[in-house]
Chain A
């Protein structure tokens, strides 16, 4: 009887542990996209400039729930995140939605997409400095995707819906040999 109770207890403990720490099939912990972090212009600069100790390739996608091409390409981005996370890709999706729409639009959309990448929301009163911080030649058209190598150099950028094979090809060049 005692052994049976211990066994049930262990079984329950194991199942609670599984729920508390969901893991992807590659063993990595899933990112928590239920709390989208707000950033301002300084936060965006820090995101792009990065901690010098972080040498992972960085993929940044600017999107919004109001942008239909952004929504159309999102499933491809979710797959790319799933395929390259374990290979060392750091993917941050930057939402340009209104801050008031985080709970009503942004997070439900991310849940529907089963998104696992880090997501932040850029909240600025004037978009121009932010746009120019990212790329002085960018007019603000969305979606916009930028891939940075370990030195912070832009090695791929695309405005409009991405071609996933092109993006994968660019990421492959950065992560090859890092499995």
Chain B
């Protein structure tokens, strides 16, 4: 009887140690990998800040789309508000639609809606509760841009340009990629890194 009790206690201890190891090994450091350049982007559905559901396909222009992960409270993302609106205006006529995505668990849909109105952002902004789409794209920060062409292929993933301060812009990476895509050329610079605020994930 004593032997059975000791064995049960030992096994229970092993189980506890195993569970503790599993629970402690997760870190939000391990973001899902971003899709590779050239990967096909599957359709998805998300509500906008007003609660109306849209599919990526329905929002994509005839020549493609630019998804930009944005925030309401990140000063870096906000530094790009005017530039993102300008992109939306400039490329809508060229068949490319800008789509904003807010995946921050700390920023509710009502705030996303009022922020867009306040900052005069006219492009559709989707609310990614649970950061499922951010995970699908391996999005790490705001702002972070993804260009999808007319064949649903990812052709660019990275920054909008090289400087928060417009006076210091020397590289317009996103616009260059869009212009090459429109011209039927292969995008020569498929990405670029820049500092930004980490996406506040729910998980």
Contacts and interface: CB of A to CB of B under 8 A. Distances in A.
Contact of B141 (A64, A98, A141, A161): A141
B58 interface: no
Contact of A125 (B159, B170, B192): B170
Interface in A104-141: 125-128, 131-132, 138-141
Nearest to A67: B197
B197 A142 contact: yes
Contacts of B171: 126
Grouping DSSP codes into helix (H, G, I), strand (E, B) and loop, the B interface class, with mixed when no group exceeds half, is: loop
A69 B192 contact: no
B144 interface: yes
Given A66-B75, A125-B168, A131-B193, A158 B198 contact: no
Contact of B28 (A125, A138, A142, A160): A160
A68 interface: yes
Ranked nearest first, the 3 interchain pairs of A and B with the lowest CB-CB distance are A141-B141, A141-B140, A66-B75
A157 interface: yes
Interface of A: 62, 64, 66-69, 96, 98, 125-128, 131-132, 138-143, 157-161, 163, 166
A139 B193 CA distance: 5
Given A69-B200, A127-B162, 6 more contacts: A126-B170, A127-B193, A138-B193, A139-B141, A140-B141, A141-B195
Contacts of A158: 27, 29
Contact of A139 (B29, B144, B200): B144
13 contacts: A66-B76, A68-B73, A68-B74, A68-B197, A69-B198, A126-B171, A128-B193, A139-B144, A141-B198, A142-B196, A157-B29, A158-B29, A159-B29
Contacts of B197: 66-69, 141-142
B82 to A, nearest CB: 17
Given A131-B193, A140-B194, A141-B141, A126 B76 contact: no
